Amino acid sequence: MIQQVVVVGSSLAGVRACGGLRAEGFDGDITLIGAEPHLPYDRPPLSKKVLSGEWEPDRIALVRPEELDSLRLQLRLGTPATGLSTTDRLVTLRDGSAVPYDALVIATGAATRRLPNQLEHDSIFELRTLDDSLALRSRIDAGGLRVTIIGAGFIGLEVAATARLLGNDVVVLEGAAAPLVRGLGGEMGLAVTQLHADHGVAIRCGVQVLGIEPAGSGLVVRLGDGDSVVSDLIVVGIGVSPTTQWLEGSGLTLRDGVVCDATLNAGVPGVYAAGDIVRWPNAQFDGEEMRVEHWTNASEQGLAVARNLVAVGRGDQPVAYSSVPFFWSEQYGTRIQFIGRAAGDDDVRVVKGGVSERSFLALYGSKGRLRGALGVAMAKPVMQCRKLLLENMSFDDAIEAAAAF
């Protein structure tokens, strides 16, 4: 019988799991453990509305105080988990205490990757937490700085756009041949980042960062081609790694995340995972094992885990989780959305609008099948493509259908 559920991770997936448990009728104890001292908050605004100063932290709470009260949670915030014994059903915390559980939800997400010696310089920033966002905002909000962004993924480019709109001079450095290669592929990555050229932001791809050194009151970034970039401030956005260190020795399978089955069970009875940390076989894409680092996935998986925990607790069978991944970004007031799954060898076709117009819909196909859709300033058409993906539509038929949206 499940009487005590422990949720490790106080961001979106963990909070959705807590809410889902109560919505499904679970009346036992729920302990929510979080590494940060703050009450749960939403992360996407950190690189946009909060960083720009348009929003203050109270605008990004994931649950209002009265909703938090109704969840009846035992909060252990500011105390990260450091170990897990699935044999004893105990989660160990940094303060030396141990929390017992009948069922466990692992939702510790991911942490930023760092450059060597990054923490030695107080003018090098990263952006993952509320504290990161507020610290960076305090430096760039007045404008007039030379800001270098290392990494042209979505977080790096959102920070670049916000910094530029605040009146800073911005350069983006990227090691890959094109921006956003992992998320959109090279061709569309270049197309999307033309927005930055329109606003005077230089994006330099195919560059290797050899080191960062003090230079007067600023910093200099030394590059592999012999060039260098002088900066007042640097933001490192070179991706994230799933937060699994605390799970080493637990017996769970760890491989760039926690490896789960289709129901999001982590291979041990009563232990499930949700959000950025999960690797699972997605039936919507022929069982392809994937790990998805996006808001919608974290929200949906948190709820799915809650439903399965309650189902198993009452003796029912858990349900497999499958999805069509979706993520979005906003840069210079333009909404960029992608639905589906992109791969480097996809066939990409623009079916509405045009790249030069900074407004278009592009479809991604592989082996004759629709795999994804990218929309730039095309909010409704890109969401209409979800139905085509759920139907496993052929690429040719999808092109014809989407052209009529």
pLDDT > 90: what percent of the chain?
A: 93
pLDDT at 273 over 90: yes
pLDDT at 231: 97
Per DSSP, 200 falls in state T
pLDDT at 31 over 90: yes
pLDDT > 70: what percent of the chain?
A: 100
pLDDT at 192: 87
What residues contact residue 30 under an 8 Å CB cut-off, 6+ apart? Answer: 5, 6, 7, 18, 21, 22, 71, 72, 73, 74
d(CA 30, CA 2) in angstroms, rounded, equals 11
Residues paired with residue 33 on neighbouring β-strands, in sequence order:
8, 76
Higher pLDDT, 344 or 263: 263
User: 109-151, pLDDT tens digit by residue?
Assistant: 999 999 998 888 999 999 999 999 999 999 999 999 999 999 9
pLDDT at 343: 86
Residue ranges, CATH 3.50.50.60, the chain: 4-111+241-313, 114-236
| Both tokens assigned to 398 | 């999808």
Residue ranges, CATH 3.30.390.30, the chain: 333-403
pLDDT at 207: 96
pLDDT at 257: 98
pLDDT bin (cut points 50, 70, 90) of residue 75 is very high
**Under a CB-based contact definition with an 8 Å cutoff, are residues 221 and 228 in contact?**
yes
Residue 122 neighbours by CB distance under 10 Å: 9
pLDDT bin (cut points 50, 70, 90) of residue 344 is confident
pLDDT at 186 over 90: no
Q: Which CATH entry fits the domain spanning 114-236: 1.10.10.10, 3.30.390.30, 3.50.50.60, 3.30.450.20? A: 3.50.50.60
pLDDT at 345: 87
**Under a CB-based contact definition with an 8 Å cutoff, are residues 80 and 93 in contact?**
yes
pLDDT at 28 over 90: yes
Output the 3-class SS for 99-147. Answer: EECCEEEECCCEEECCCCCHHHCCCEECCCCHHHHHHHHHHHCCCCCEE
Residue 286 neighbours by CB distance under 10 Å: 10
**Under a CB-based contact definition with an 8 Å cutoff, are residues 237 and 264 in contact?**
no
Indicate the average pLDDT of the chain.
96
Q: Which CATH entry fits the domain spanning 4-111+241-313: 3.40.50.12280, 2.60.130.10, 3.40.50.300, 3.50.50.60? A: 3.50.50.60
Radius of gyration (C-alpha) of the chain in whole angstroms = 22
pLDDT at 183: 86
User: 45-55, pLDDT tens digit by residue?
Assistant: 999 999 999 99
Q: Which CATH class is domain 333-403?
A: alpha beta
pLDDT at 216: 85
User: 207-259, pLDDT tens digit by residue?
Assistant: 999 999 998 889 999 999 999 999 999 999 999 999 999 999 999 999 999 99
The stretch 49-75 carries a mean pLDDT of 95
| Both tokens assigned to 285 | 């894409």
**Under a CB-based contact definition with an 8 Å cutoff, are residues 257 and 244 in contact?**
yes
